Structure 1
């Protein structure tokens, strides 16, 4: 793996901290997880995303930058009009 790619992904995600995203994660055996959330923090090896469900309980999940590099996790930045919606 190219370390420059991972560091580039990390820098891009550091700039998106606090922004609303749509995250699509491959859970294996043709199962996918698609949710909207907010990037909470970007650490040296991982980043965390805060999700809220229909019952207003907060769930946090962490993913590695390698997950994005290997396309296990896909992130799509949502328009800024979605930022006004409270989580």
Structure 2
């Protein structure tokens, strides 16, 4: 999970929309996060494909977990995963 902007977190589901946690958030998008000692409520949603947010999610998370950087190709994981955004209340 990465911070995209103030009040927003992004994650990628390697299991796509078949992952249990993604199915759960589609059914009940209200979530609770714990980041360090901070707890927050939020609302999760699948990021629309082909949007700027989709591109940003893949690049930020691939950079964090796979070492992606500008000028490199995204990893197979980042290309194939499903981006999810959480807007913190």
What is the TM-score with the length of structure 1 in the denominator? Answer: 0.29
Structure that is richer in helix per residue:
2
Q: Larger RCO: Structure 1 or Structure 2 (Cα < 8 Å, ≥ 6 residues apart)?
A: 2
Structure that is richer in strand per residue:
1
What is the TM-score with the length of structure 2 in the denominator? Answer: 0.29
